[in-house]
Amino acid sequence: MNAPHASKVSEINSTVPAPAHTAPPASPAPETPADPRPAQAPHTLPAPAGPHRPPGALLQDRLAGWVCGLTALHELTERLARTDEVDDALRELLRAGAVLVGARRGLAVLEPEDGLGPDTTVGLGLSRADLGCLETVPRDAMPHAPLLDAAAGPPGGDREAVRPDLFAEPGLDPRHREVAARLGYAASYALPLSAEGAGRLGAALWLYDEPAEPSARQRRLAGLYVRCAAEHLGRLLERHRTRACMTTLYEELLPSRLPRVPGVQLAARRRTGPRGGGDWYDALPLPDAALGLAVGSVTGAGPGAVAAAGRLRASLRAYAVMEGEDPVAVLSDLELLLRLTEPARRATALFAYCEPALRRVTVAGAGHSPPLLVGERRTEFVETSLSAPLGMLACWEAPSVEFQAAAGETVLLYTDGLLHRTGDPADRAFARLHAAAAGVPRALRGDPGAVADHVLRTVLPDGLDASGGVEDVALLAVRFE
């Protein structure tokens, strides 16, 4: 269960220092008299050979040791700065801290004092079973508990928790003693994680296999590194919360569930870009057993685009209930509203009036990509008329298109983000989408969700969560029975 030793970084040895009460291994006695000079501190450069040393040599050794340590510190902080996720930053913090304090294992606990989360625990050289075993120890008995429960001090404070020999402590909790013996650690060193503005974020704990503690120099270097890491974690935490908030807001603006309408099956897939965007979809029951289907996209990204998409979707719902049988009238009203209330905003939209009993669909689009009809005998784009996006013309109007679907065929409505994420020109992106739909296996055609998943996997081989996927994607699949 022990992890391999961390590698050496810039002359800092990551191995566990020998405990103070353990005798070093015997070696042949030198012929020369013993050197009266004090022993070297761990991790400093070796002293020059020879019986005599020039004046100031000890100071030079110390300065050289600090230069070596600061160089390593610079490399470790640069590596930390390249992390862009909270969990990745915690793992890098543990790895670098283990090198600095001479430990092999450790864990970082993230518990922001504002209570807004996320709360998480990341281990170094500890399996999930090991972390679960540590969780059975009473919280107040863990070495880092005082750092988690105390009020946050200044980021530059000197608070630390040193337990050089756990089994020698008379008041050690019995459960902690049992877990420490099972996992094979005998000492620990912990530092708080606190950032200016964010307050207390958590604590980092490193575990030693034998009784030991870091030297004063190791503590200073580790303290400097952890302060820098805490500030970086604070920034990542703020970004993580912003993304989570945007995702929640976006989800609340979309339908919580798709309606159940006789004669059709519905499925939807969507993914929000890292900044949050304005792609949306909707499906709502209409009078006379009809169904309204819509997809759209608002220009821009961030909270403004998400809010604008929510307003656009809510307005389209109202117009669809009043005059949904005429998709052109629905989009004309929507264009007028957008032009009067948000003249600087541009949007695309597609609205379809669906009659499931007749398998008939009437569709109109405003600058939006055409629907794709997928069936056993055909896979083709519906030829909608070319039109400008909403908000670009003084008066928008374009003819609608009516088409008939056969039993078992699926209509795909999608946003332009699906095409943009391919990175191809428009004609090649449309060709890729058409080929993906035509290649849906026969066994999957009865499930609109499976059809949507297959199309997404084929069009986007790297997946919707690819790091380069900055565009929103929304896909609505409608299968006629």
Region 254-480: CATH code: 3.60.40.10
pLDDT at 165: 95
Task: Supply the pTM of this predicted model.
Answer: 0.61
- All structural domains of the chain with their residue ranges: 59-243, 254-480
Specify the DSSP class assigned to residue 358.
T
* Structure confidence at residue 360 (pLDDT): 96
Query: Same CATH fold, 254-480 and 59-243?
Result: no
Rounded Cα–Cα distance for residues 192 and 223 (Å) = 9
* Residue 452 pLDDT: 94
pLDDT score at 227: 93
What pLDDT tens digit does each residue of the chain (481 aa) get? 444 444 444 444 444 344 443 334 444 444 434 443 333 334 433 444 445 656 667 666 666 666 676 788 888 889 999 998 999 999 999 999 999 999 999 999 999 988 888 999 999 999 999 999 999 999 999 999 989 876 544 444 458 999 999 999 999 999 999 999 999 999 999 999 998 877 889 999 999 999 999 999 899 999 999 999 999 999 999 888 887 877 777 677 778 789 999 999 999 998 776 666 788 999 999 999 999 999 999 888 777 888 888 889 999 999 999 998 999 999 999 988 888 888 888 899 999 999 999 999 999 999 899 999 999 999 999 988 778 888 876 666 778 999 999 999 999 999 998 998 888 899 999 999 999 999 999 999 999 999 999 999 999 866 555 444 567 889 999 999 9
Task: Kindly write down the DSSP assignment for every residue of 145-180, as one continuous string.
Answer: HHHHHSPP--TT----EEES-GGG-TT--HHHHHHH
CA distances from 93 to 140, 220, 356, 459 (A): 24, 15, 58, 38
Length of the chain: 481
Q: Tell me which H or E stretch contains 183.
A: helix 174-183
Strand order in 372-374's β-sheet? 264-271, 473-480, 410-414, 372-374, 379-381
pLDDT value, residue 188: 95
**CA-closest candidate to residue 92, choices 210, 197, 226:** 226
Q: Which residues pair with 193 in a beta bridge?
A: 202
pLDDT of amino acid 422: 86
Fold of 59-243: Beta-Lactamase (3.30.450)
Rounded-to-integer distance, Cα 97 and Cα 81, Å: 15
